[in-house]
């Protein structure tokens, strides 16, 4: 089913809701649409908030609408155990003819028989008086079409990863004599871990043998193979899916299908003439163009096989990721250059977990076994679903797993995006090993060399800094006495940052070369300049901030996703952002400083660090760093000049800093007052 995405500007609860008939009343007949162009999905009544499966006596709690296709609508549901699914809803009023019923039976039968990590899982199907329901695996990150709309186009590294997963699913389907016949961006879904899942078997065809040909003209205009449109006498077979793969690969790299046009007849004309081009403004590798050209060959016999495609040089000429981070939904991930051996190993990893290559890993059920479309016509009561498709005593529910779950036990500890710590296991015991420079085997409070980070000490320090700035602005002579000493030339401050707090958190790079992410759950991960040692920072109301040392290759399963996010925040900043200052830095490994708080205002963004210093980044690109409660002021001007003063020197020698100090005083005063007032209210 090709789902139509809901506009993000229209809340789900404002969509028109059709009234669902009361169960106590006789269901009224839905009149046949007078307009032949009315979509059957428009006849699907919005289900009640509780959808009941009469066979299991189970209730699914319905929530928002996920999308709408030509014949069905899709909603998110949750069972009594909290497991979330997608439910595909088909109105019985659209299933009047024997042909439409047989089509639905075929879709259910084929989808039920599929068991592959890159195919949307089929849980169950049942019916009530009004609708037929198909309970499916929930793919939280929607469709590849929506992904492409957000990103415009994908990198070749991302395309390599997803193309392998598509090929793995196709090899499994074709091995079971199933042709999908409607492969397109809207029928390819992304799960929570950004793994690809093929769905919607509404147009799937089952072949008796490999030589059988189908002659039905079906599919979606932009993706239909020429032999489907123009080869009625000869028919079509598995190769039509490979044509669609070529269209999908082109669309991923260019941002739109190769034959796209506003008029359907114009699309068909382009397909017949095989007329498309590669835009000059988009840089594509020779290998990617070569693969697309071979897949879009007009002669089906000239298209490469699935195994030949997977061995194409396209997969070996650039970085091949083992996974795609969730951050890729909104920004292009950064993949470091790889040695050829690493690229090959990553290809083998992804291929094996998609059912390709020579690996012994079994990722799918009933490989090579044909699907039977023989359907027992026996029904339960007045229902329309045969008992063979919707048995009275259904099998136990499946547990859907992603492709990454097929890793070996050793790789699972580090590589799988779906690793989650056992709730009964302590955080410390889940760490595999410790580096020699990090001898402590437990999470510890921050070392004594750093100031305590309790809430009380934080706001006391902020209040003192606010008062000192106020005194300096009113009368620098009245400032408290700071010891005379040589001011340190190095400072800890943020040189790059990216705010992605609408989904994950705020990433930043410090002047000492370390990189950190402050997550929305108030935890932090900080990577040392050696790019190996890692600290996980958590907050505790009783003991303040706690630091857990680990490494990029050895960390708790709880941190797997956060480490992946850290990598891609880091890659994005390296690739897209410039440093605030080119001055000297201090590169430390142990007990790296980190950001503890941040605050965004119209004029500036403020950062507070674990060493009590505070930084303001202003809209005019000037930076103000306040250290030692005002004992040291550092200022980066518009020309990136770096200045270090005492507070009294700054006030007397730099007139342009006065307005910024006033803003800092007012912001810090307001911030601390609000937080302390909130704390007092909650404690009372």
Q: What is the DSSP string of 164-226?
A: HHHHHHHHHHHHTTEE-----GGGEEE-TT--EEE---TT-EE-SSTT--B----S-GGG--H
3.40.50.720, 3.40.30.10, 3.30.1120.30, 3.60.9.10: CATH of 444-683: 3.30.1120.30
pLDDT averages per 10-residue partition of the chain, 684 residues: 32 36 43 52 76 89 88 91 93 89 92 95 92 94 95 96 97 95 96 94 86 88 94 86 98 97 94 96 96 97 96 95 90 87 93 80 67 56 77 65 41 33 30 30 38 61 87 68 56 89 90 92 92 88 80 91 91 70 44 83 90 92 90 88 87 88 90 65 49
Alpha carbons 46 and 62: distance in angstroms, whole number: 10
Please tell me which residue in 79, 115, 128, 182 is annotated as part of the active site.
182
Residue 390 has a pLDDT of 78
Burial class (CB in 10 A: 0-12, 13-18, 19+), 588: middle
Residue 460 has a pLDDT of 81
Residue 406 has a pLDDT of 41
Residue 427 has a pLDDT of 27
Q: Residue 470: helix, strand or coil by DSSP?
A: helix
Closest Cα to residue 592, out of 427, 414, 438, 434?
438
C-alpha distances in angstroms, 85 versus 144, 169, 194?
19, 21, 17
Same fold, 144-373 and 444-683: no
In the chain, domain spans: 12-137, 144-373, 444-683
* Contact between 21 and 162 (Cβ < 8 Å): no
Residue 204 has a pLDDT of 92
Residue 101 marked ligand-binding: no
Residue 680 has a pLDDT of 53
Residue 446 has a pLDDT of 43
Query: Tokens 């935890």 belong to which residue?
Result: 523
182 is catalytic: yes
3.90.1300.10, 3.10.690.10, 3.40.50.620, 3.30.200.20: CATH of 12-137: 3.30.200.20
Structure tokens of 537?
């920072």
Residue 676 has a pLDDT of 62
Fold classification of 144-373 (topology level): Transferase(Phosphotransferase); domain 1 (1.10.510)
Residue 344 has a pLDDT of 93
């Amino acid at each position: 089913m090709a789902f139509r995405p809901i506009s993000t500007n229209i809340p789900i609860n404002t969509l028109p809701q059709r009234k669902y008939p009361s169960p106590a009343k006789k269901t009224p007949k839905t009149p046949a649409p007078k307009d032949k162009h009315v979509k059957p999905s428009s006849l699907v009544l919005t289900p009640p908030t509780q959808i009941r499966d009469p066979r299991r006596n189970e209730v699914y709690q319905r929530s928002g609408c996920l999308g709408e296709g030509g014949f069905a609508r899709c909603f998110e549901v949750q069972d009594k155990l909290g497991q979330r699914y997608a439910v595909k809803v088909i109105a019985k009023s659209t299933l009047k003819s024997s042909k439409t019923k047989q089509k639905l039976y075929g879709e259910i039968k084929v989808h039920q028989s599929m068991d592959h990590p890159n195919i949307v899982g089929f849980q169950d199907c049942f019916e009530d008086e009004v609708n037929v329901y198909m309970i499916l695996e929930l793919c939280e990150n929607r469709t590849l079409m929506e992904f492409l709309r957000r990103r415009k186009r994908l990198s070749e590294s991302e395309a390599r990863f997803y193309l392998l997963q598509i090929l793995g699913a196709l090899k499994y389907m074709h091995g079971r004599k199933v042709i999908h016949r409607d492969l397109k961006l809207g029928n390819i879904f992304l799960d929570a871990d950004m793994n690809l899942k093929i769905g919607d078997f509404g147009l799937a065809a089952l072949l008796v043998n490999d030589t059988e040909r189908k002659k039905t003209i079906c599919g979606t205009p932009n993706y239909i193979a020429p032999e489907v449109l123009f080869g009625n006498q000869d028919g079509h077979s598995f190769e039509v899916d490979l044509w669609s793969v070529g269209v999908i690969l082109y669309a991923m790299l260019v941002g739109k299908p190769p034959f796209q046009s506003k008029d359907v007849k114009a699309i068909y004309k382009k397909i017949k003439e095989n007329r498309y081009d590669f835009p000059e403004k988009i840089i594509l590798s020779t290998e990617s163009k070569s693969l697309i050209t071979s897949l879009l060959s007009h002669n089906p016999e000239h298209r490469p096989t699935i195994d030949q495609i997977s061995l194409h040089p396209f997969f070996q000429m650039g970085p091949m990721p083992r996974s795609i981070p969730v951050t890729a939904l909104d920004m292009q991930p950064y993949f470091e250059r790889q040695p050829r051996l690493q690229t090959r190993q990553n290809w083998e990893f992804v291929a094996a977990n998609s059912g390709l290559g020579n690996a012994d890993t079994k990722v799918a059920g009933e490989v090579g076994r044909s699907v039977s479309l023989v359907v027992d016509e026996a029904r339960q009561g007045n229902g329309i679903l045969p008992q063979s498709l919707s048995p009275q005593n259904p099998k136990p529910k499946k547990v859907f797993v992603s492709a990454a779950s097929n890793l070996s036990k050793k790789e699972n500890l580090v590589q799988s995006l779906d690793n989650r710590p056992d709730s009964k296991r302590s955080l410390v015991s889940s760490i595999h090993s410790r580096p020699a420079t990090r001898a402590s085997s437990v999470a510890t409070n921050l070392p004594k060399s750093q100031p305590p980070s309790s809430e009380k000490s934080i706001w006391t320090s902020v209040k003192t800094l606010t008062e000192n700035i106020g005194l300096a602005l009113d009368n620098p002579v009245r400032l408290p006495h700071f010891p005379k000493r040589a001011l340190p030339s190095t400072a800890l401050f943020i040189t790059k940052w990216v705010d992605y707090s609408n989904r994950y958190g705020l990433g930043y790079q410090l002047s000492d070369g370390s990189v950190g992410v402050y997550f929305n759950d108030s935890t932090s991960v900080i990577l040392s300049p050696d790019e190996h040692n890692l600290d996980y920072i958590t907050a505790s109301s009783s003991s303040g901030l706690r630091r857990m040392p680990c490494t990029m290759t050895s960390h708790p399963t709880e941190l797997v996703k956060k480490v992946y996010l850290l990598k891609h925040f880091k890659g994005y900043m390296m690739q897209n952002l410039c440093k605030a200052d080119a001055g000297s830095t201090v590169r430390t490994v142990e007990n790296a400083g980190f950001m503890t708080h941040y605050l965004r205002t119209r004029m500036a963004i403020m950062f507070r660090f674990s060493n009590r210093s505070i930084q303001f980044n202003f809209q005019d690109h000037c930076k103000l760093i306040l250290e030692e409660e005002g004992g040291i002021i550092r200022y980066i001007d518009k020309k990136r000049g770096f200045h270090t003063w005492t507070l009294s020197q700054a006030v007397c020698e730099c007139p342009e800093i006065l307005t910024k100090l006033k803003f800092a005083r007012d912001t810090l005063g307001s911030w601390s007052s609000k937080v302390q007032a909130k704390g007092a209210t909650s404690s009372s």
